[in-house]
Structure 1
Amino acid sequence: MLLKPAAMLGLFSLFLIVLSARPAFSQKNQIDRINLNWSMYKKLNNSNLPYIAYTAHRTLHQYRATQKGSQFSLVFKVGVSLDGQQSTVDLRRLATLGEEGKKNLLNHEQGHSDLAVIYGRVLYKSLTKKVYSVKNYQNEVKKIYDDTLKELAEIHARYDMETLHGEEQAPQAKWDLYFKKELKAS
C-alpha cells in the first residue's frame, strides 16, 4: 500500500511529536550558592555567645500532588536561604581579628552556608527519586525532610569539630575542597 504525500507528512509529523514528548512532571530545581559577606549578618555588640559568628539557614520545601486515575505524581521545589535574624556577628569581637582572621572566619562561615546548599540539593534529589504511596505520601515526604536536616545538623557539628570552628587551617582547606567539588557536582 502506498501512502499519499499528505498522509506520509502526517505520519512523519506524528513520529516527530512522539520523539519530542517530555514527561508530564519533569522536575528541575536550581539551588545556588549563597556568597556571604558580613553585611548579611545581624550585628551584635558585646554578646555573651561563645563564638564570634553564627550562620543559620532555612531549608524549605513544597510540593504539588496530582492524581489522575491510578497515576500519582509529586512535583517538588526546595529552597535554601540565609536566615538573617539568626545569622549573627559580634562586631566588637570581629574587630579584634586582623584582616586575615576576618577572612578566615568568613570563609569558615561560608562553609556552613555551602553545607546548607549542598544538603538542599541532596534533599531535592531524595524527594524526587522516591516513589510515593497515595495514602502516606505526606508522612514519607516529612521523613525524608527530617532525615536530611538531621544529617545536615550532624555534618555541621563534624565540620566545626574538625576545623575547630575555622581555627585549624589544614582541615579547613580539606573541607574547602569538599565544598568546591560538591557544589560543582550537584
Structure 2
Amino acid sequence: MKKFFFLFFIITSFTGFAQVSVSVNWTPHIPLPNSDTIFYNPSRKLIWPDFKGTPGSPAEALAVTSSGLGYSAAMKSWNGKTTIDITVYCYFSKQSSWVRKGRESEYALNHEQHHFDITYITTNLFIQKLKDAKFTRNNYGELVEKIYKECCRELEKMQNDYDGQTKNGQLKNIQAQWNGKINEQLDLLPNQ
C-alpha cells in the first residue's frame, strides 16, 4: 500500500509540473460603433464627447475617467502538454466617465487622458508580471488572479497619487511634472 501511495504521489506531482507553455497577448479590441467601451490605443486620444456619464461626486471634480484593465484566460491540455492563453486589455467606460457642462478644456482633458494612460501603464506591468510568472497546471488560475489583484492595487495607488499630488490637476506645476513622468513611462513601453 505504501508503494502504491508513493507512486500515486509521484505521478500526481509530475502532472502539476508537466510541460506548460504560456502565451500572454495584448488585444487592441475594436469595439462596435455604438459601444460604451473604448479600448486603449496609443494613437487614439480621448475627446470630451467620450464622457457620456452624468456628473456626480466628488463635487470638487470637474471630470471623472472610469478606466480599468481586464483579462481572459484559458488552459488547454493535450498529450501531456498544457497551453495557457492569457489575453489582456485596457478600457475606458463612456457611460461611467463624465465632465461637468461648461468645464471642458484642453488642460482638463489632458489630465483625464493621463488617468487612462496610467491604466495602460499598469496594464503593461500586469503583462510583464504574467510573463515572468512560473505557471503550472495547478497554480495558473490562482496565480493569474493574485497578479491581477496586485496590479489593480498598484493602479489604484498610482491614480490616487496622481489626483492627490496634482489636487485633481489644479496644481499646474505638479501636473506638469506628472505629465512628464507619465509620458516617459509611455515612451518606455513596448509597441503592442
CA RMSD between the two structures: 2.2
SS at match of 2:45: coil
CA gap of 1:149–1:48, structure 2 versus 1, over 3 A, is closer
Give the Cα separation in 1 of the matches to 2:184 and 2:173.
17
Pick from 76, 79, 82: which aligns with 2:89? 79
Amino acid corresponding to residue 78 of structure 1 in structure 2:
V
Q: Deviations over 1:58-110 (max 9, x none)?
A: 31101232334554332221111111111111114x16xxxxxx121111111
Match of 2:76 in 1: 66
Match of 2:180 in 1: 177
Pick from 142, 145, 157: which aligns with 2:148? 145
TM-score (norm 2): 0.72
Amino acid corresponding to residue 84 of structure 1 in structure 2:
K
SS at match of 1:143: helix
Give the Cα separation in 2 of the matches to 1:132 and 1:25.
8
Give the Cα separation in 2 of the matches to 1:158 and 1:135.
36
Conserved 8 A contact 1:43-1:90: no
Give the Cα separation in 2 of the matches to 1:49 and 1:158.
16
Match of 1:55 in 2: 65
CA gap of 1:48–1:66, structure 2 versus 1, over 3 A, is closer
Task: Please report how far the alpha carbon of residue 154 of structure 1 lies from its aligned counterpart in structure 2 after TM superposition.
Answer: 0.7
Equivalences for residues 129-168 of structure 1 within 5 A: 129-168=132-171
Conserved 8 A contact 1:56-1:83: yes
CA gap of 1:48–1:83, structure 2 versus 1, over 3 A, is closer
SS at match of 1:85: coil
Alignment length (residue pairs): 155
Amino acid corresponding to residue 55 of structure 1 in structure 2:
T
Q: Percent identity?
A: 23
Conserved 8 A contact 1:112-1:156: yes
Higher helix proportion: 1
